[in-house]
Amino acid sequence: MSSPTTRPPGRPGTVGRVVHHRLFWPVVALVLLLLACGLRSPGFLTVSVQDGHLFGQLVDILRFSATPMLLGLGMALVIATGGIDLSVGAVMAISLAVSLTYLDASPTAGAVPTVAAAIGVALAVAVVIGTFNGFLVSVLGVQPFIATMILMVAGRGIAMLITQGQITTVTSEPFKFLGSGFVLGLPTPVVVAAVVLVLLVLLVRGSALGMLLESVGINREASRLAGVPSRRITWLVYVVAALLAGVAGIVYGAPTMAADANNIGLMKEMDAILCVVLGGTTLAGGKFYLGGTVVGALILSTIERAVVIFHVPSQITPLFKALVIIAVCVAQSPRLREMIRSGVPGRSGRAAGPPTPAPTPAPAPTVEKVL
């Protein structure tokens, strides 16, 4: 479920090449990580079938990638418009708090319709939050970073208000199924994530949304003058991101069924951003890569798994993540490619080759680095 999806239907070969190039390093990193784990722990790469369900380390990695992937896909769209959504972690907490509080108050928490209603309410709240974010960004023109930071800061307070400062715990089999059940032998979160991915690819690349998103991200005013409804598109994207975060919150919290407003989704926005960046989408906006984001999510959860396999004390997971992130960012940096190409001593002012934005005369942020 990785690279094939990145090739959007009906795009030219050269763009395909660029996509391929963008994905090259992330995929290499993923494969190396998996191989390293496989060498270290021989059973790592085997997948077994028990009771018709798939089991194994790889399946676990898939399961754990579901949350960052759901968040990352929404984030990728937001980033494409030149924005960022820092509130997704808080939205996860709110969505879970809402659904569990609903179930808690209902006498029939174990019934499927009740669960469906709980999820419906939670996702509706997520949509409202996304609408608020989108309003700040697209109508008021507040910087996305700061607009969503407001909910990042205040959102957990709101989740606390919903659960009245308690850790709400309920028992509901259908709800739990969403987090720890299996569909067609695959863990439910994986299936949910895959369905979301397919729907999103259809939505974005099957329509003109993808191109218009990118054009808005690259040059908002020029897009507006070309008739692109940039305001509506930007708004939509925040709603989608919040909706996906709501889904992620439910999928993430379902196995434990405990709405711990302080900890659910903590720092997850960072993971989501990392998935997107690892997948080759730059934070400046413009071109985005959903397939790359999926690879990014897989890398992230593989790293977390690798830490366990290599018996690295789990406390240093962030250190490990940080080193990998810095390495990938530097590897993707146009400047490094340029240095390598021109031989280290040459201080060429330009990046050649199509894959990277060449910091030529355009007053892109990179130009200031042309020393």
Alpha carbon of residue 159 to chain centroid: 22
Residue 140 Cβ vs another protein, minimum distance, rounded to whole Å: 5
Token duo for residue 363: 């007053």
| 116 vs 267 by CB, closer to another protein | 267
Cα(306)–Cα(357) distance, rounded to whole angstroms? Answer: 33
H helices present in 206-289, as ranges: 209-218, 220-225, 230-253, 268-278
Judged by DSSP in three states, 55 sits in strand
Residue 238 Cβ vs another protein, minimum distance, rounded to whole Å: 15
| 92 vs 115 by CB, closer to another protein | 92
Cα(145)–Cα(290) distance, rounded to whole angstroms? Answer: 21
Judged by DSSP in three states, 187 sits in strand
Residue 236 Cβ vs another protein, minimum distance, rounded to whole Å: 9
Alpha carbon of residue 327 to chain centroid: 20
Cα(223)–Cα(177) distance, rounded to whole angstroms? Answer: 44
Q: Identify which of 317, 294, 295 has the alpha carbon closest to the alpha carbon of residue 304.
A: 317
Residue 182 Cβ vs another protein, minimum distance, rounded to whole Å: 33
| 59 vs 324 by CB, closer to another protein | 324
* Identity at 165, one-letter amino acid code: G
Cα(272)–Cα(247) distance, rounded to whole angstroms? Answer: 14
Cα(196)–Cα(12) distance, rounded to whole angstroms? Answer: 25
| 47 vs 146 by CB, closer to another protein | 146
Residue 89 Cβ vs another protein, minimum distance, rounded to whole Å: 11
| 146 vs 184 by CB, closer to another protein | 146
Residue 198 Cβ vs another protein, minimum distance, rounded to whole Å: 18
| 121 vs 364 by CB, closer to another protein | 364
| 51 vs 221 by CB, closer to another protein | 221
Residue 36 Cβ vs another protein, minimum distance, rounded to whole Å: 19
